[in-house]
Amino acid sequence: AVAYVFDGLTRFTPDAKVVSGLARAWDVSPDGITYTFHLRSGVKFHDGRSFSANNVVSSFQRVLDPATKGGRGWPLYPIKGAEDYAAGKAKSIAGLAATNDSTVVITLKEPFSIFPKLLAMPVTSIIPDNPAPDFGQKPIGTGPWKFVEWRRDDYLRFTQNPKYRDGAPKSDSFMARIIPEMSTATAEFEAGNVDVLNVPDEAGKSWLADPAKKKLLTSAPALRFWYVAMNTTRGPFTDVRVRQ
């Protein structure tokens, strides 16, 4: 749902390529340390406020602020001074600056070629300055959809952003329903009450064997990663030889 409401400086395409988002372009210094992002003009938040470089700085500061306690600011850690700021050791982020309303200059600790990909992560989405205390319940972004209503454990409703930079969505509105039981969600989809569903593997296999239902299925590559984490502070995993 983050991508419905918010934009980042960059974004992923469905085939996992990184393209421009709120940054129309960017330059990288020969040593791979300094990134200069040139921002789009005329972009507005859903509440009518104009987007500018200061919003990028304040959004990143908010993510890294120790008081936020989000714990997910790691995509910004390659920025010089970001970890010190997150740890409460610095009052500003040394490698982050808005040089004018349409330019953000980011200096890294060291060359990191995948940095633009990190800026496409949901946590680096750009929000307006001074968000309201209930911002988490009533989000405001620059994305293609405007938040309308959240009925807990039932649905989220959105309406189109007619001024979206890439053109307004083709539908006037949409509802994201919250259906915890997958069997119920599948039944609702089959009944025509849900238009799009991430079909579970077992249902998908049975539908593939049914010519009528097979027509309902489409597949696409998924952008995901899997890993196994070891707690290095407990049991045998405290021994580096075991981990090796």
pLDDT in tens, 35-51: 999 999 999 999 999 99
Given a contact cutoff of 8 angstroms between Cβ atoms, the answer to whether 197 and 185 are in contact is yes
CB contact set of 218 (below 8 Å; sequence gap of 6+) = none
| Type and span of the H or E element at 133 | none
Q: Which two tokens stand for residue 11?
A: 């974004």
pTM exceeding the 0.75 threshold for the entire prediction: yes
pLDDT tens-digit series, residues 134-165: 999 999 999 999 999 999 999 999 999 999 98
